[in-house]
Amino acid sequence: MKKQKVLLLALAALTALPASMPLISQSALAVEQAGQTLQQEKLALGATLNSQQAQQTIQLLGASSVTAENTIYVDGVMIDRYLNIGSDASTDVYSSVYIKPQAAGTGIKVQIVTPENITDVSATTYQNAAITAGAQNTLLKIGSFLPVTGEGALTGLYALLESQGVVVKQHDMQTAQNEISVVSNVKTETGLTDSQVNVIIAEIKKEVASQVQNNGQANSTEIVNTVINNVINNTEVNGDGNVVDNSVATDVTISDETKQELEQYANDFAQTDAAANKDTVGQLDASIEDKKWGDILAQLQPSMTIDQIKEVETPDFSDTEKYHEILPALYNRFKEAVEQGIRVDDIYAHTFVLEAIQPDLTVETKAELDNLRELLYQYTATFEGDLKEAAENEGFEFQPIKDQWMAKLQEVENLESSDVALAEIIQLVANATGFAPQVYTYTDIEQDDKVISLSVAEDSPTKMSTLARFEYDLETGVISEVDPVSMEAVPLSQDTYDFNAVYGVNVENNYLANEVPVDYMIPGYTPVESTEEETTLEEMVEEPVGSVETQTPEEEPAEDVLEEEAPSEKNMDETVPAEETEDVDLS
């Protein structure tokens, strides 16, 4: 029998409902159970995975520590039980989810470790669905070794929540499932991004929850119209989960039919346990997917002079519950750099390292890091004319600063999706040294048995200057720095960049590490000596070698993978760090 394809279902035809929908009765126990914090690491694997594929998926998710007792397998029957979308035993399921408890106040954090292979369900949708189902303070890692829609992982999430004692009602799961269709329909009609639409959904849910808890019912028509009007009337959706006025008109049209669809969704959410739970608004605020820095950078244009930048006042960071104590130190160091006219690559890089080793930063802190990055960009862009002239005088084609920065961000994203292990090694080096790959170039990547060596360089308009060379031992996880004179590898004394030495603030390393297989080999490496030229990170991204097994539509499936698997789920001239140099060249 031909395998059944699992597709996202459109919402059924809507019927007119009253503007105010009373909250259905719920026991205090049910609300309390729905808000439980998860206590154990658990894993849900797609049942169609063979043994080799399952192990590969476990490595992708960094879930090797999960015991067999805490692992479940998701098949089509289970998908239909939770999502009611017509799947059955013949349905192939590959996407998988790993859940890990987090500290109180963390919210729901989502990492899609194979974003190129989860085609329909976004990180924010997983996040919103988990909150709707009653989850709190949990890390979700989603992955699949080939392209799928991602509904198997969504089902696995629900099943794992239930296995932890979280009560998930059928109505609540259906409401969470309907979010997928609502988000898709609003995106299609308005042209807004997935992140923007999911923020709209989150804003609606926050208002619904607030009204339900205060009044016992929610006026869905009023809520939807208010949120939509804030989007249309000279406002934009911000990454911190708030709709704020920025006096820039947006060309957004939302039909009455789509408004009705949103109202229906608001009514449905009003009847969930999450809406009645007093912690839901806080979870939404803590969890809302931040607007990516790359999206912000893409919209920026050089617009500030040095004098204007000097006039910018440091924000008030006195509220330590909202703002990390390193923020004023970062701003002070930036202002010192501006006064001295020196480059700020190091500060820019440290913002990324900070985010990596402090995954639980507040929404407010993340927003302020992006504000600082905007100033770092505006400052760097003031040197663009001089840099361009220098490059052209040397016969080089100059790329605008924004293009250079965007290219580095994309390079990191590409590596994370094509070679998870190498991306992890580079991130571990960055965490220990401050050389974030979003800013510095990782090049001359070589391997000798279980030791991978790489250089960190910075770019200028006319050359790439090597700053340091490091080694990573696959067996021990030890990172060493290679002495440029003796060429001896000396283990680093710590695995965390010393923020205190530079900024006077201690920063704890809470990095959520992925597992690096001890038998990992870099692209192009064989255990025998090779005469191939050294490769750069960019070249590796362009020609990835399958540490992540994927399948393109043109390829024939492997023998042990069943038919129709993909669609069945819907220069050593500088040896000191950049911050210690006096080079005023900016790039």
Per-residue pLDDT of 366-409, as tens digits, reads 888 998 999 999 999 999 988 888 888 888 888 899 999 999 99
Over range 328-343, report the average pLDDT.
96
My answer on whether 501 and 371 are in the same domain is yes
Please indicate, yes or no, whether residues 281 and 314 belong to a single structural domain of this protein: no
Beta carbons within 10 angstroms of residue 68's beta carbon: 6
- The angle at the Cα of 61, spanning 421 to 171, to the nearest 5 degrees, equals 155
What pLDDT shows up at residue 473? Answer: 97
**Number of domains comprising the chain:** 3
415 domain residue, yes or no: yes
Q: Within this chain, do residues 419 and 524 fall inside the same structural domain, yes or no?
A: yes
Q: Which of 206, 189, 186 is nearest to 197 (CA)?
A: 186
Would the pLDDT of 333 be above 90? yes
Residue appearing with tokens 């603030």: 505
Tell me which range, 232-236, 322-326, 390-394, is most confidently predicted by mean pLDDT. Answer: 322-326
Confidence of residue 328 (pLDDT cuts 50, 70, 90): very high
Residues 6+ positions from 407 with CB-CB distance below 8 Å: 399
Question: What is the chain's mean pLDDT, rounded?
Answer: 78
Give the burial string for 291-303 (b: 16+ CB within 10 Å, else e). Answer: bebeebbeeeebe
> Among 524, 542, 560, which residue terminates a domain?
542
Sign of CA dihedral 293, 294, 296, 297: positive
Here the tokens at position 365 are 């802190």
Q: What percent of the chain has pLDDT over 90?
A: 38
Structure tokens at 468: 């340091």
| SS3 at position 459 | strand
Query: What value does the mean pLDDT take over residues 331-343?
Result: 95
**Which pair of tokens denotes residue 132?**
């709707």
State which residues form the domain around 151: 37-165
Pick from 239-248, 362-371, 469-478, 497-506: least confident? 239-248
**pLDDT greater at residue 30 or residue 202:** 202
| Residue 25: C-alpha distances to residues 68, 393, 565 (Å) | 38, 75, 43
Residue 579 burial (C-beta neighbours within 10 Å; 0-12, 13-18, 19+): middle
Verify that 265 and 333 share a domain, yes or no: no
Residue 20: pLDDT band with limits 50, 70, 90: very low
| pLDDT for the residue numbered 47 | 94
The answer as to whether 18 is a domain residue is no
Q: Residue 332 has which token pair?
A: 């002070």
Alpha helices in 235-362 (DSSP H): 256-270, 273-276, 280-287, 293-298, 306-311, 326-340, 345-357
Q: Is the pLDDT reported for residue 131 higher than 90?
A: no
Residue 343 confidence (pLDDT)? 92
pLDDT band at 462 (very low <50, low <70, confident <90, very high): low
Does residue 575 belong to any structural domain of this protein? no
Residue scoring higher pLDDT (32 or 371)? 371
Mean pLDDT computed over 271-280: 84
Q: Give the residue among 210, 352, 177, 354 at the shortest CA–CA distance from 285.
A: 210
Using left for φ > 0, alpha for ψ between -120 and 50, and beta otherwise, residue 234 falls in left
- 176-185, 296-305, 408-417, 423-432: which is most confident: 423-432
Burial bucket for residue 518 (CB in 10 Å: 0-12, 13-18, 19+): exposed
Do 328 and 379 belong to one domain?
yes
- Say what the pLDDT of residue 105 is: 64
Task: Give CA–CA dist 530/491, Å, rounded.
Answer: 26
Cα–Cα distance, 587 to 578 (Å, whole number): 12
CA-CA distance, 202 to 196, in Å (whole number)? 10
**For range 342-369, the mean pLDDT:** 91
How far is the CA of 426 from the CAs of 28, 139, 489, 575, in angstroms? Answer: 48, 22, 17, 19
Phi and psi at residue 192, to the nearest 5°: -70, 160
Residue 13 located in a structural domain: no
**Do 154 and 223 fall into the same domain?**
no
Helices (H) and strands (E) in the chain, counts: 21, 14
Asked if 53 and 122 sit in the same domain, the reply is yes
For residues 359 and 262, membership in a common domain is answered with no
- Confidence band (pLDDT; 50, 70, 90) for 104? low
Sheet holding 42-46, edge to edge: 71-74, 42-46, 96-101, 138-143, 108-112
Return the higher-pLDDT residue of 245 and 427: 427
Q: Which of the residue ranges 255-259, 390-394, 474-478, 502-506 would you say has the lowest mean pLDDT?
A: 390-394
Asked if the structure places residue 238 within a domain, the reply is: yes
Whether residue 362 is found in the same domain as residue 470: yes
| Same domain, residue pair 361 and 416 | yes
| pLDDT confidence of residue 575 | 36
Q: Which of 137, 165, 193 is the last residue of a domain?
A: 165
Nearest partner of 363 among 450, 464, 287, 304, judged by Cα: 287
Q: Is the per-residue pLDDT at 83 higher than 90?
A: no
User: For position 22, what pLDDT does the model report?
Assistant: 33
Mean pLDDT of 38-43: 80
pLDDT value at position 249?
38
Cα 209 to Cα 276: distance, rounded to the nearest angstrom: 6
Same domain, yes or no: 68 and 193: no
554 within a domain of the structure (yes/no): no
Q: Are residues 107 and 252 in the same domain?
A: no
Give the angle 400-405-410 at the CA atoms, nearest 5°. 125
What is the pLDDT, as a whole number, of residue 5? 28
Section 451-472 average pLDDT = 89
**Does 296 reside within a domain?**
no
The token pair that represents 99 in the structure block: 């859940």
**In the chain, pLDDT over 70 holds for what percent of residues?**
76
Identify whether 133 is part of a domain: yes
**Where is the domain boundary, 259, 289, 319?**
289
